[in-house]
Amino acid sequence: MGLLSFLQKIEPDKKKSPFLHTLYDGFFTFAYAPKTVTKGGVHIRDGMDLKRTMVFVVLAMQLCYVFGTYNIGHQHFDAIGMYPGFLEGFHLKLVHGLIKLLPIFIATHVVGLGIEFWFAAKKGHPIEEGFLVSGALIPLIMPPDIPIWILCVAVAFAVILGKEAFGGTGMNIWNIALLARVFVFFAYPTSISGDEVWVSGFEKVAPGMAVDYGWAHGMFNSLFEWGKMATFDTGAVIHDAFSGATPLALASKGGWSAVTEQFTVSQMWWGTIPGSIGESSKPLVLIGAAILLITRVASWRIMFSMFLGCSAMGLAFNAWGATPFMEVPWFYHFYIGSFFFAMAYMATDPVTATSTNTGKWIYGFMIGAIGLLIRVFNPAYPEGWMLAILFLNTFAPLIDYYVLDANMKRRSAKASNSSAMIMRDADNVNEKNITHA
Amino acid sequence: MLLTALVVIGIILILISVFSISDNLIQIEAQKEGIDTQKTNLSLIPSFKDLFSPSLPSYVDKNKLHRLKKGMNINIAGGAASVVSDANVARYAVRPQLYRGLSPIPKMEVAEGDEVLAGQVLFFDKKNPNVKFVSPVSGEVVEIRRGAKRAISHVIILGDKTQRYMQHTPPSINNASREEIVEYMQASGGWTLINQRPFDIIAETEVIPENIFISTFNTAPLSADMNLIIEGKEEAFQHGLTVLSKLTDGKVILGLDGRGTTEPNTAYTNATGVEKHWFNGKHPAGNVGVQIHHTRPIKGGNSVWTLKPEDVAAIGQLFLSGTYDASKVVAIAGSDVVDPQHYRTYKGASITELTKDCVPEGETLRYISGNVLTGEQVDKEDFLNDKHNLVSVVKEGDNYELFGWLLPIKPRPSASGTFPNFILKNHEFEVDTNTHGEERAFVVTGQYEDVLPMDIYPQHLMKAILTGDIERMEGLGINELSEEDVALCEFTCTSKQPLQEILRDGLDMMREQA
């Protein structure tokens, strides 16, 4: 094949330029499945490999990307008071969204992959696919106007200290995407919390503030003028009645009635609300979750038990009812904030979750319960999934330890039990049937 | 209105409590009598399992049926037809290295050029001189091949056209003591047919096994039909079972095919003096390790024996007629095999001679003695492994495939839901030896548990072995496993880890400790 022989000719030497070789190897194995054959052990292997697993997770997220891009633009124009309808100013919204999203996406991948490639070259092993998913998740959980330099520092922190320091793909304790977000959360809290960060394209989000358009907007303006379509209005200002608060922020201050004053349930469900880039559209996130469940890439146990945990805690709060936030009906907690996104993509990360099936039930349930607990009780920041998931990531090995301990005790109990029975009744051995796994 | 509703609910509640109390009373009585309540259903209400599960033919004993839910069948193209022809094989080899624990240079009792009879002693281990290794066929010893460090790798015999047998005088089974039986078996070559678990070694003379297990069906891909293997040897098989029952204080347990597709040979279903258990499920339901786990799991420092049905028949033959019958039925299968079927030959047959008429030259092919999951890669010049009844022939997959991991051109067998294999339920896959990915660290969890129908956490066991934690390995159940049990886990492994190799390292570590 022409392409194959060309690629094989330009392969950089492994010893003379390890970094280039690693880079080459990464892209080559992306294009061509390697030709290694089995040696020792099984002779045929399953068609599934880690690359394919990661790519399916990334594919499941793509709907969130598409909608997130649109929503960035929609929130921007919502603040100005223009184009309230879904299809109005569609091209402007998409372009604005892309202008905000692409730098975040590219910066995440350049920094993250660059660090991964460097470590792989240094250690002499091929590039491992772990960052494909983390790199796809990080843009979706960031606010649209996050300063790129903060993002780069956060990604570097997450990849170097959260992943490579532990040994690379498969060895990290904490979820890498959440580590990046939690870094921004604690180090630069004003860029990721409050009411001003969820709408993009303004110097300051307050009534009367002007739009902040850059060269990219100008470039597209000339394109739109040539195409006789609506253009970005550089003189637009935020309308007077605007607040950049998300439904979650409103609920934490004033309960469900405060939320319904500004947003309808349908808006919250379909996702045309301010928030992180990818989390807002619940049906699209659920479609992604369904893809992951049908292909058995993600664990249904974690998703289901997380839903149960959150519902149980929500019901408990409804029964208690001490604050307006606690009185928010338990099923509406799924409409605000990022529960479904955390459930589908963050909690189900197999490396950081518990590895035993029993452990997954406990893990998911606790994330659901503790996440909602943090959301309702946290005075500073009304969202709890990131913190709950990182917390349970820390305790996942402990949960597994006790599940395995129970397994080992069961095994030794069977040993002493059966030998005692054989001694007691040699002719009529009444053995207990073992669970048919 | 409310009153009638309350009365109805009250009546229903009373009836439910009457039913459940009487049910429980029956269970308590049954347990006092000693009837196993989980195997026989004594409740008033038929169990859900019996109502909704697919019905099985009448020959399956439902009281001794084990339904295994986990596992995976791999349908590969080129299965062997159920006919047995005679193979035209002249060369046979006995390989000392197949027997774990044997010293690398055993003491030879024959030299190149000697004439031997079938069943004549070829060599023995100096550390264990009573256990003799015998020739499967009569003929001339043409070569004693040595490998690295002068270790003996092959003793090659050119077989006669008509076999001549070494004649022994077997002790009478009814009168002989256990020591006499053991002595006879060790001298006549029958002892080497026994496999001891854990560790899969030759049976140790001083150890009395807790139980003896025989699986009479093989669920591995392309495996030979065990009903054909035992045809013509029914009497010897039954006699072998009787001999074995004298060698253990426990039971001889026979694992029978309860899947309902083919009725097992009457030699299996009519066997006497054994405890019969039926197994229904996907691969590895036919693995003897899985069957042990669900009947009498290996505990602590105990050992059990496992044998293949044809070896039981060979032992029976040694006690019936005093001759060593090493004949076996071998299937040659694979999509590149012309007219795949079963062949009659002897232990240690030459692969070249077995396959010369049915495998065309041309593509790069891999010959495997055994099945594609647990088998041994052999050269064409090599010989069939004594433990195997199958030669699998698959294509070597050493070629690059553009975006092969994302969009494979041909359907591939997979445990993953990302392939549309659910629409190809009965499709027979063409497989090759490509790894379909590179080796990575353990990432995906829960995969191994889905295909191992045992109460074991394989991934954690592997990690315990990799860190050399002996206590943890034992606690997690390494003594219950053999490589063939984790072979399917290795097949489905997304990270392409060498699980069978890791397990073998772990078992070797455990054996050194013992």
Per-residue pLDDT of chain B (514 residues; tens, 9 = 90+): 788 888 898 899 998 888 888 878 877 777 676 555 454 555 555 555 555 667 778 888 888 899 999 999 999 999 999 999 998 899 999 999 999 888 889 999 999 999 999 999 999 999 999 999 999 999 999 999 998 899 999 999 999 989 999 999 999 988 889 999 999 999 999 999 999 998 999 999 999 999 999 999 999 999 999 999 999 999 999 999 999 999 999 999 999 999 988 889 999 999 999 999 999 999 999 999 999 999 998 877 889 999 999 999 999 999 999 999 999 999 999 999 999 999 999 999 999 998 888 888 777 899 999 999 999 999 888 999 989 999 999 999 888 888 888 888 788 888 888 888 877 778 889 898 999 988 999 999 999 999 999 999 999 999 999 999 999 999 999 999 999 999 999 999 999 999 999 999 999 999 998 7
Q: What does each C-alpha distance from B367 to B299, B372, B377, B392, B410 come to in angstroms?
A: 37, 10, 6, 6, 22
Nearest to A42 among B434, B449, B491 (CB): B491
Q: What is the DSSP annotation of B409-433?
A: SS----S-TTS-GGGGTTPPBP-B-
Give A37's contacts in chain B (Cβ within 8 Å): 366, 396-398, 433-435
Q: How far apart (Å, rounded) are the C-alpha atoms in residues A132 and B299? A: 45
Whether residues A35 and B397 touch (CB distance < 8 A) is answered with: yes
Whether residues A38 and B296 touch (CB distance < 8 A) is answered with: no
What pLDDT does residue A128 have? 84
B462–chain A Cβ distance below 8 A for any pair: no
Place of tokens 């038929």: B46
Residues 6+ apart with CB under 8 A from A312: A365, A368, A369
Q: What does each C-alpha distance from B93 to A423, B89, B129, B144 come to in angstroms?
A: 46, 11, 21, 9
Q: Which amino acid is at A4?
A: L
Q: How far apart (Å, rounded) are the C-alpha atoms in residues B241 and B273? A: 7
For A436, the closest chain B residue by CA position comes to B68
Give B417's contacts in chain A (Cβ within 8 Å): 294-297
What is the percentage of chain A residues whose pLDDT exceeds 70?
95
Whether residues B377 and A43 touch (CB distance < 8 A) is answered with: yes
What pLDDT does residue A435 have? 36
Which H, E and C letters describe B434-497, residue by residue?
A: ECCCCCCCCCCCCHHHHHCCCCCCHHHHHHHHHCCCHHHHHHCCHHHCCHHHHHHHHHHCCCCC
Q: How far apart (Å, rounded) are the C-alpha atoms in residues A189 and A253? A: 19
Q: Which amino acid is at B251?
A: K
Question: Of the candidates B343, B349, B399, B396, which has an alpha carbon nearest to the alpha carbon of residue B369?
Answer: B349
CB atoms within 10 A of CB B385: 19
Phi, psi of B156 (to 5 degrees): -100, 130
Nearest to A355 among B69, B412, B459 (CB): B459
Phi, psi of A48 (to 5 degrees): -90, 135
| 3-state SS assignment for residue B107 | strand
Note the pLDDT tens digit of each residue in A372-409. 999 999 887 878 899 999 999 999 999 999 999 999 99
What pLDDT does residue A72 have? 93
Place of tokens 């096994």: B209
The angle formed by the CA atoms of residues A303, A304 and A305, to the nearest 5 degrees, is 95
**8 Å CB contact between A347 and A304:** no
Least confident range of A25-29, A320-324, B347-351:
A25-29
pTM score, two decimals? 0.88
Whether residues B400 and A33 touch (CB distance < 8 A) is answered with: yes
For B410, the closest chain A residue by CA position comes to A47
Whether residues A50 and B492 touch (CB distance < 8 A) is answered with: no
Nearest to A404 among B69, B434, B476 (CB): B476
Radius of gyration of chain B from its Cα atoms, rounded to whole angstroms: 25
Least confident range of A35-44, A237-246, B433-442:
A237-246
B479–chain A Cβ distance below 8 A for any pair: no
Residue length of chain B: 514
Peptide bond into B264 cis (omega under 30): no
Place of tokens 């030669």: B391
| 3-state SS assignment for residue B376 | strand
Nearest-neighbour CA in chain A from B115: distance (Å):
36
Q: How far apart (Å, rounded) are the C-alpha atoms in residues B3 and A213? A: 73
What pLDDT does residue B111 have? 93
B88–chain A Cβ distance below 8 A for any pair: no
As given in the structure block, the two tokens for residue B211 are: 């139980």
Radius of gyration of chain A from its Cα atoms, rounded to whole angstroms: 25
Place of tokens 């907007």: A217
Cα dihedral B355, B360, B362, B367 in deg (nearest 10): -30
Q: What does each C-alpha distance from A231 to A47, A203, A281 come to in angstroms?
A: 49, 20, 26
Least confident range of A96-105, A133-142, B52-61, B149-158:
B52-61
Distance separating the N- and C-terminal Cα atoms of chain A: 48
Nearest-neighbour CA in chain A from B450: distance (Å):
9
**8 Å CB contact between A258 and A251:** yes
Nearest-neighbour CA in chain B from A252: distance (Å):
37
Residue contacts between A and B (CB atoms, under 8 Å): 241
Top pLDDT among A435 and B122 is at B122
- The answer to whether residue A427 scores a pLDDT higher than 50 is no
Give burial (CB, 10 Å; 0-12/13-18/19+) of A334. Answer: middle
What is the overall mean pLDDT for chain A? 88
What pLDDT does residue A126 have? 83
Whether residues A35 and B452 touch (CB distance < 8 A) is answered with: no
Local confidence band at A421 (pLDDT 50, 70, 90 cut-offs): very low
Half-sphere exposure in the Cβ direction for B454 (13 Å, CA): 34
Per-residue DSSP letter, A210: B
Whether residues B496 and A49 touch (CB distance < 8 A) is answered with: yes
E strand residue ranges, B164-240? 195-197, 201-202, 212-215
B444–chain A Cβ distance below 8 A for any pair: yes
Per-residue DSSP letter, A345: I
Q: Which amino acid is at B472?
A: R
| 3-state SS assignment for residue B360 | coil
Nearest-neighbour CA in chain A from B476: distance (Å):
6
As given in the structure block, the two tokens for residue A155 are: 């990604």
Q: How far apart (Å, rounded) are the C-alpha atoms in residues B52 and B153? A: 54
What pLDDT does residue A378 have? 87
Whether residues B418 and A353 touch (CB distance < 8 A) is answered with: no
Q: What is the DSSP annotation of A58-112?
A: HHHHHHHHHHHHHHHHHHHHHHHT---SSSTTHHHHHHHHHHHHHHHHHHHHHHH
What pLDDT does residue A1 have? 59
Least confident range of A163-167, A191-195, B102-106, B420-424:
B420-424
Q: Which residues pair with B141 in a beta bridge?
A: B157
Give B453's contacts in chain A (Cβ within 8 Å): 436-437
Long-range (24+ apart) CB contacts under 8 A made by A53-57 are: A53/A297, A53/B416, A53/B418, A53/B443, A53/B444, A53/B494, A54/A129, A54/A130, A54/A132, A54/A133, A55/A132, A55/B406, A56/A291, A56/A292, A56/A295, A56/A297, A56/B418, A57/A132, A57/A133, A57/A136, A57/A292, A57/A297, A57/A298, A57/A345
Nearest-neighbour CA in chain B from A340: distance (Å):
21
The angle formed by the CA atoms of residues A224, A225 and A227, to the nearest 5 degrees, is 60
Task: Kindly give the pairing relationship between strand B195-197 and strand B304-307.
Answer: antiparallel
Least confident range of A188-192, A264-268, B419-423:
B419-423
Q: How far apart (Å, rounded) are the C-alpha atoms in residues B184 and B246? A: 13
Nearest-neighbour CA in chain A from B222: distance (Å):
13
* Element holding B330 (H helix, E strand): strand B327-333
Residues 6+ apart with CB under 8 A from B368: A43, B375, B376, B377, B378, B391, B392, B393, B394
B417–chain A Cβ distance below 8 A for any pair: yes
Q: Which amino acid is at B156?
A: I
Residues 6+ apart with CB under 8 A from A59: A291
Q: Which of B405, B491, B501 to mutate to test the interface with A (most CBs of A within 10 A)?
A: B405
